[in-house]
A and B are shown apart, each in its own frame.
Chain A
Amino acid sequence: MMNKTDSNKSTVQKIGGFLGANTVPIMFILICAVCIPLSGFSPSYLLNEIVTRMGRNTFLILCLLIPIMAGMGLNFGMTLGAMAGEIGLILTADWQIVGIPGMVLAMILSIPISILLGLICGKILNMAKGREMVTSYIISYFINGVYQFVVLYLMGPVIPIKHSSLKLPRGYGIRNTVSLLDMRQKLDDLIPLTVFGAKIPVATFLLIAVLCLFIVWFRKTKLGQDMRAVGQDMEVSKDAGINVERTRIISIIMSTVLAGFGMVIYLQNMGNIATYSSHSQIGMFCIAALLVGGASVDRASIGNVFLGVTLFHLMFIVAPSAGAKLTGDSMIGEYFRVFVSYAVITIALVMYETKKRRAKSRMAEQLRLDQLKESEVAEQ
């Protein structure tokens, strides 16, 4: 009898623990469950949209996993990689190298820029241990300024740009929008496949699969093991002879380089570059998507990425239309999805802190119970 109540209790506790640990994804599933019927979209339309957006975004989100592994939290600095990718694309667009070769070249061009920016970012983050997230967030603004200077003033006079279609009317600097029409969805359509009326970007998914395999493999390497060690306890790792600073820098560089690749994939799907704004929100949305998938500041898996990207974009697709149906104003849905991104990040950060605090007070609880037991014994 006693045993039964015990096991019942533990089941309840387990369910409670599961709900507690997955608050954000569950919330999103509920929101989507309400919004999908309201929006009135057909399943095949939804499937098509989701698949397209998954292909567009997943690579970018995966690049966040490595810094989390190294204990550096959510890498808002992935924006730096996105800028490097954009510079690569602008140059290839000017050189009129189109299609897949253009993409490959853009990726190659982005590598040295990403490495340099990642190195700077990593060095700065090593000076701000424990405050990596806010620091990387601010660095992304700072480097955005440098990017604007390069693109707005140096491209033309210093970095040769031949085609005036790219340049601002004044003769130097890049236009607000750079068209990638010749590259548009070239990767997505490389291996054509349609399932249930939904176009599947097979080649893109293959690339994503390769990256997933790489991450799985990377966790098994010495460097991956070192990153996990550093992520959990820098002091212990240092005492064991692991070069903590270097390991952290490498993790940021890897993330930045991958973000550069991810940005190229993202923009080939979009078909154009919004020169001054494409990268600005990308970090925020990728991080929100990852968190929606149930990741936290110190824990994220590939599963979190896929669940997150699906749920987050499902909400993105259905919310405006559901909002329009409900209120007659589609802006309300638009407003809602931006609001939700920020809300998710805030909730995730708060939950991370409270979890830490709860773990701390568990010790006090134990002491209190010991004390009670002792007093009872004394009374007897």
Chain B
Amino acid sequence: MADKASPLLEIKNIKKEFFGNQVLTDINFTLEEGEVLGFCGENGAGKSTLMKILFGMDVIRETGGYEGEILMNGEKVDFATPFDAINAGIGMVHQEFSLIPGFTATENILLNREPKKTNVISEIFGERLNTLDRKEMDARAVEAIEKMGVSIDRGMVINEMPVGHKQFTEIARELSKEQLKLLILDEPTAVLTEKEAEALLHSVRGMSSRGIAVIFITHRLHEILEVCDKVVVMRDGFVVKEVPAGDTNEAEITRYMVGRNVDTNTDHSNLREEIKKDSLSDSSVIMSVRNLWVDMPGETVRNVNLDVRKGEILGIGGLAGQGKLGIPNGIMGLYEAGGTVVFDGKEIPLNQPRSCLDSAIAFVSEDRRGVGLLLDETLEWNVAFPAMQIQNKFLKYYLGGLIKWRDEEAIRAVTEKYVEELQIKCTGTSQKAKELSGGNQQKVCLAKAFALEPRFLFVSEPTRGIDVGAKALVLDALKKFNRESGVTVVMISSELEELRRTCDRIAIVSGGRIAEILPADTPSETFGTLMVSQVI
């Protein structure tokens, strides 16, 4: 019923906003049968949101749906659930594995689609008591694995498989669905060895020759150039470039990915000036990190060496999952870590949060609600709690220190001071933290860290999930804190431009390692190249 002229997939004017933030604007592209489309863009460019829309994920409907049209074979489709998308022939391999750990490859490939045999009992009690047809299951698994063209042991339990084979099991599962017309691979090579990645690219070619279209999302640009017919580059919710893979090169794609408004950057120029004035090259090193490894799930850090200079703002940037968040979390003792960290001439023992705090190092976590705040307590408590616990501030002593009471007045005074300074919007200092908006909660987290009067501050993703106005304020507050109190700040952020505006130097993390540390006024393209340099 599909007429020849209409493409397999057509995306028309897709728009999406999350709580007033426009994350996708007028997305248009088409995909023919058997075509391989490379999809790239920085984190937050809108790739995953678009894929979620395409795959009918719950989160899209829960946040108000989307605008625009998706056409498959010329017919408008609107998937209410991922199952609708699957029935329409869309398969998706997510970044996180979606496999049952104790099942074999065969069992996973055919999960909930197992061929069955009826028996007497199932005739009475319903079809869920049909027994599984193991022979048929094996046959189908073999077929799917052959289709994929990469050989894996179908009888092996997922737990015992190397990571690459898990990935291939997922792909085989999608291929075993007969209706499959479009396969979305979200960073499929991120966990593969070089050889496996090659095998995968080969297999993508094979799928395409069978008429299955593939959307291939990756940060490894050479793969896109190698395997894709067409490249779509996204940035800030726009498609900035759609080009045949043969007509472009890595440098060009990188430029499109990060080179936002390179010419119109004048509004930040005054900030740049300020950074340049601070000549920090010969100031002394306050923290020196050697051979740091951190086991933070999804943000593994490997062999990081880093020197932080006294009084600077050092930015740590990089793509998600490359380990930038692992660095502060490891040093502060929240995740298991190894290596040496020397702060101000003294070595800090790792895996003991208290030792960092005692050395006047503070941390504003990216996990505001989990680690950062006591959600059910008042602002006063939130601001003063760490200072009270760690430094015995805001306490009154009775009976020669035998009894310690909270100094409520001092607590209120300090909270009021920060509420004013950081313009925290609240009904009063005794309001509960959970009642504030995200941006204001972030400010409370900062106030909490400031109240410790640290000499060194880690700030992790300070602007994640907060609106533009609050962003500027948070960043300015950080800068002011650094410049006026001389506190060394290490700021970790996914947003490169934000780092470039705020920091003196920026370290780019890629593949769990520091790719390079450069002055903040280095062009974005250079940073962009570094971000993808060692992606694993």
Q: Is the CB of A223 within 8 A of B128?
A: yes
Identity of the chain A residue whose Cβ is nearest the Cβ of B337 in the assembled complex: A364
Q: Which residues of B contact A30 (CB under 8 A)?
A: none
User: Given A222-B127, A364-B295, are A371 and B302 also a contact pair (CB < 8 Å)?
Assistant: yes
Which of B98-106, B368-376, B417-425 participates in binding chain A?
A: B98-106
Partner of B302, one of A233, A236, A367: A367
Chain B's closest residue to A299 (CB) is B102
Q: Which of B103, B122, B128 contacts A229 (CB 8 A)?
A: B103
Q: List 17 A-B contacts (CB under 8 A).
A: A220-B131, A221-B130, A222-B114, A222-B116, A222-B127, A222-B132, A225-B114, A225-B132, A226-B112, A236-B99, A239-B98, A240-B111, A240-B112, A364-B336, A367-B300, A371-B338, A375-B303
Residues of A within 8 A of B83 (CB): 241
Q: Are B129 and A228 in contact (CB under 8 A)?
A: no
Q: Verify if B65 is at the interface (C-beta below 8 Å from A).
A: no
A368 within 8 A of B: yes
Cα of A374 to Cα of B336 in the assembled complex, Å: 19
Q: How far is the CA of A220 from the CA of B129 in the complex (A)?
A: 9
Question: How many of chain A's residues touch chain B, expressed as a range?
Answer: 20 to 34
Is B437 located at the chain interface by the 8 A CB criterion?
A: no
CA distance A217 to B82 in the complex (A): 32
- The verdict on A371 contacting B99 (CB below 8 Å), with A221-B128, A225-B107 known, is no
Q: Which residue of the partner chain A has the closest CB to B97?
A: A236
Nearest chain B CB to A112 CB, angstrom units:
16
- Asked whether any CB of chain A lies closer than 8 Å to the CB of B291, the reply is yes
Q: Which residues from 294 to 311 on chain B have a C-beta closer than 8 Å to any C-beta of chain A?
A: 294-295, 300, 302-303
Q: Separation in Å of the A198 CB from the closest CB of chain B? A: 35
- What chain A residues lie within 8 Å of B100 (beta carbons)? 228-229, 232-233, 236-237
Chain B interface (Cβ < 8 Å from any Cβ of A): 82-83, 98-103, 107, 111-114, 116, 122, 127-132, 291, 293-295, 300, 302-303, 336, 338-339
Q: How far is the CA of A242 from the CA of B112 in the complex (A)?
A: 6
The residues of A with any CB-CB pair to B shorter than 8 Å are 217, 220-223, 225-226, 228-229, 232-233, 235-237, 239-242, 361, 363-364, 367-368, 370-371, 374-375
* Residue among A228, A367, A371 making CB contact with B102, cutoff 8 Å: A228
Give the residues in chain B near A226, CB-CB below 8 Å: 112, 128
Query: Once the chains are docked, how many angstroms separate the CA of A237 from the CA of B197?
Result: 27
Chain A residues positioned under 8 Å from B293 (CB to CB): 367-368, 370-371
Q: Which 9 A-B pairs have the closest CB atoms?
A: A364-B295, A223-B128, A240-B112, A364-B336, A240-B111, A367-B293, A371-B293, A220-B131, A232-B100
Which chain A residues border B291 with CB–CB below 8 Å?
371, 374-375
Would you call A221 and B129 a contact (CB within 8 A)? yes
In Å, the complex CA distance between A370 and B116 comes to: 46
Q: In whole Å, how far is A123's beta carbon from the nearest beta carbon of chain B? A: 19
Most buried by A among B99, B114, B127, B293: B293
CA distance A236 to B302 in the complex (A): 30
User: How distant is A143 from chain B, measured CB to nearest CB, in Å?
Assistant: 26
Contact B122 A221, beta carbon cutoff 8 Å: yes
Bound CA span A232–B152, Å: 22
Given contacts A225-B107, A237-B112, A364-B295, 12 further A-B contacts (CB under 8 A): A221-B131, A222-B116, A225-B114, A226-B112, A232-B100, A232-B102, A236-B98, A236-B111, A240-B113, A241-B112, A361-B336, A367-B338
Contact check, B132 vs A220: say whether CB atoms are below 8 A apart.
yes
Residues of B within 8 A of A217 (CB): 131
Q: How far is the CB of A324 from chain B (nearest CB, A)?
A: 46
Closest to A235 in B: B98
Of the residues B99, B132, B300, B336, contact of A221 by C-beta under 8 Å: B132
- Contacts A221-B122, A221-B129 given; indicate if A233 touches B101 (C-beta within 8 A): yes
A235 and B58 alpha carbons, distance in the complex (Å):
14
The answer to whether B131 and A228 touch across the interface, beta carbons within 8 angstroms, is no
Interface residues of chain B: helix, strand, loop or mixed (majority): mixed
Please, which residues of chain A bring their CB within 8 A of the CB of B112? 226, 229, 237, 240-242
With both chains docked as a complex, state the minimum distance between the C-beta of B91 and any C-beta of chain A, in angstroms: 12
User: Residue on A with the closest CB to B126?
Assistant: A223
Q: How far is the CB of B83 from chain A (nearest CB, A)?
A: 6
Point out the residues of chain A lying under 8 angstroms from B295, CB to CB. Answer: 361, 363-364, 367
- How far, in angstroms, from A363 to B294 measured CA to CA in the complex? 10
Contacts of A374 in B (CB 8 A): 291, 302-303
Residues from chain B with a CB closer than 8 A to the CB of A228 are: 100, 102-103
By a CB distance below 8 angstroms, the chain B residues around A240 are: 98, 111-113
List the A side residues contacting B127 at CB < 8 Å.
Answer: 222
Are A229 and B339 in touch, CB under 8 angstroms? no
Do B302 and A239 have beta carbons less than 8 Å apart?
no
A371 and B339 contact, CB distance less than 8 A: yes
How long is the Cα–Cα vector from A226 to B110 in the complex, in angstroms? 12
What residues of chain B lie closer than 8 Å to A371, measured between beta carbons?
291, 293, 302-303, 338-339
Contacts of B114 in A (CB 8 A): 222, 225
Most buried by A among B99, B107, B295: B295
Cα(A361)–Cα(B351), bound, Å = 13
When chains A and B are docked, how far (Å) is the Cα of A233 from the Cα of B96?
13
CA distance A375 to B304 in the complex (A): 11
Contacts A222-B114, A367-B300; is A232 near B101 (CB within 8 Å)?
yes
B residues near A363, Cβ cutoff 8 Å: 295
Q: Are B82 and A239 in contact (CB under 8 A)?
A: yes
Q: How far is the CA of A312 from the CA of B524 in the complex (A)?
A: 70
A217 to B125, alpha carbons, bound, how many Å? 15
Residues in chain B near residue A367, CB distance under 8 A: 293-295, 300, 302, 338
Shortest distance between the CB of B144 and any CB in chain A (Å): 15
Cα-based distance from A223 to B294 in the complex (angstroms):
41
A231 → chain B closest CB, angstroms: 8
Q: Which one of A223, A241, A368, A370 contacts B129 once the chains associate, using CB atoms below 8 Å? A: A223
Chain A's closest residue to B303 (CB) is A374
Residues of A close to B300: CB separation below 8 A: 367
Which residues of B lie under 8 Å from residue A236 when comparing CB positions? 98-100, 111
- Flag if B99 contacts A222 (CB, 8 Å): no
**A114 nearest CB across to chain B (Å):** 16
CA distance A237 to B291 in the complex (A): 40
Q: For B107, what are the chain A residues with a Cβ–Cβ distance below 8 Å? A: 225
Q: How far is the CB of A187 from chain B (nearest CB, A)?
A: 24
Min CB–CB distance A27 → chain B (angstroms): 27
Closest approach, in angstroms, between the C-beta of A127 and any C-beta of chain B?
20
Residues of A within 8 Å of B99, CB to CB, are 233, 236
A374 and B292 alpha carbons, distance in the complex (Å): 12
A229 to B112, CA, bound (A): 9
Most buried by A among B83, B100, B103, B122: B100
Q: Distance in Å from the Cβ of B488 to the closest Cβ of chain A?
A: 26
* Given contacts A229-B111, A367-B302, A367-B338, A222 and B129 within 8 Å (CB-CB): yes
With a cutoff of 8 Å between Cβ atoms, the chain A residues found around residue B102 in the complex are 228, 232
User: A174: shortest Cβ distance to chain B, in Å?
Assistant: 34
Nearest CB of chain A from residue B13's CB, rounded to whole Å: 29
Point out the residues of chain A lying under 8 angstroms from B302, CB to CB: 367, 370-371, 374
- Chain B's closest residue to A223 (CB) is B128
When C-beta atoms are compared, the residue in chain A nearest to B290 turns out to be A375
Output the nearest chain A residue to B304 by Cβ-Cβ distance.
Answer: A371
**Could you tell me the distance between the alpha carbons of A240 and B100 in the complex, rounded to whole angstroms?**
10
Q: How far is the CB of B292 from chain A (nearest CB, A)?
A: 9
- A221 to B118 Cα, complex, angstroms: 10
Residues in chain A near residue B338, CB distance under 8 A? 364, 367-368, 371
Using Cβ atoms and an 8 Å threshold, which residues of chain B touch A239?
82, 98
List the B side residues contacting A375 at CB < 8 Å. 291, 303
Cα A367 to Cα B111 in complex, Å, equals 33
* Cα(A220)–Cα(B130), bound, Å: 8
With a cutoff of 8 Å between Cβ atoms, the chain B residues found around residue A361 in the complex are 295, 336
Q: Known interface pairs A361-B336, A368-B338. Does A222 touch B128 (Cβ–Cβ under 8 Å)?
A: yes
Give the distance in Å from the alpha carbon of A220 to the alpha carbon of B101 in the complex.
18
How many angstroms between the C-alpha atoms of A218 and B263 in the bound complex?
68
- B101 nearest CB neighbor, chain A only: A232
Known contacts: A222-B116, A240-B111. The answer to whether A232 contacts B339 by CB under 8 A is no
Docked Cα-Cα span, A322 to B313, in Å, equals 73
